[in-house]
Structure 1
Amino acid sequence: MQSLQKLTRDQMAARVARDIPEGAYVNLGIGLPTMVANHLPADREIFLHSENGVLGMGPAPAPDQVDEDLINAGKQPVTLLAGGSYFHHADSFAMMRGGHIDICVLGAFQVAVNGDLANWHTGAPDAIPAVGGAMDLAIGAKKTFVMMEHLTKSGESKIVPACTYPLTGVGCVSRIYTDLAVIDVDADGLKVREMVEGLSFDELCRLSGVPLTLAAC
């Protein structure tokens, strides 16, 4: 395991970007998922949405092109593509809750084998006080992708038999992207679609600590 080459955060973002299809309306959650915007194929028209009321975001701006009034939900500066728009956050949440977002990409503290998601609170006393828009996205989007490191800093799997942290959404995750693997959440369990080079399936199972099967090619 010491010589295993994990994906970098940029490589993880690029891998998620590959699976976002032409014409999709996509929300990128706060933190790691925002990096996906910088890796979307230039020849693919994808509409990026932010819950603070932006549709049609582009990649991050150059340092000398930052508009402090144009930010995403994580308060990071963004660009606006031709045809993009901004609007009241109530309309933005109506889009999320009304099933108008094709894919949301969220970070996570834990994902359970049944697709439950915990991504907003670990019980730490200094944590943020509320779940925010994540629960609306997790349930309202047609597909929820999770992008996260496979293991915690202490080496524990973030993919768990059942979440021990407060839930964001129940049974909402359809695919997990980590620095070690791409895993689908199906009705009959977790199916591994890809693994990083040099990682065996047995080792991935050992690190994950939950039942896994290999997806059919």
Structure 2
Amino acid sequence: MNLSRIAKVAAVSVLSAAAALGLWHSTVGAQEEPVVIPRPAIDFPVAGSEAKAIFAGGCFWGVQGVFQHVKGVKNAVSGYAGGEADTAHYDMVGSGQTGHAEAVEITYDPAVVSYGQLLQILFSVAMNPTQLNYQGPDHGTQYRNAIFFQSDEEKQVAAAYIAQLDAATVYPAPIVTTLEPLEAFYPAEQYHQDFLTLNPTWPYIVINDLPKVEALQKLFPAVWQKDPVLVGTL
């Protein structure tokens, strides 16, 4: 039984009822508060006009929604990474037994935004890297925060950045983000794509995810773009 999913649905139902009664109607802070952090001291140039990065940071709705508003991002797809192809389905991943994490595949132009800048956004506004196997209200290994690296360079940059942030004590607890080699990325079901953009008034989105998008605009104005890059039909 997917208790995390049931809890999410129950919470949304309660909040929806409260909104209907006029007891709740405004955006409140997400459980993962944004943090002002320095840029990575180590980055690396990526050749070509297109590259991919795969990040996991809790529910993929919010992570996708954040990166869809970053200049230089050409696409951001919600999906699964860390497990096998035959278990890359929402109902199975939700059991927490498949090895998968809800993840987002980000296709970006390295001439506009670097891998290091994407990491900075991830750690600053898209997730709380000190929460082990959960993010906000969502609990389970499927909601772990992880960087799925595709090369030694990506792994080195990510590891160095985690060490840099821990040394600077910008968080009240150590970073628990895992570095995992990418075996494969599997796009999630169509109804998960562009979920934040298509459902901006859904209570779960309002509470947990819209504050992250707002923080991106406030803390990273140089890379903010108002109109999100949408997946559309896969």
- In which range does the TM-score fall when normalised by the shorter chain? under 0.3
Higher strand share: 1
Higher relative contact order (CA 8 A, sep 6+): 2
Q: Normalised by the size of structure 2, how large is the TM-score?
A: 0.25
Q: Normalised by the size of structure 1, how large is the TM-score?
A: 0.27
Higher helix share: 2
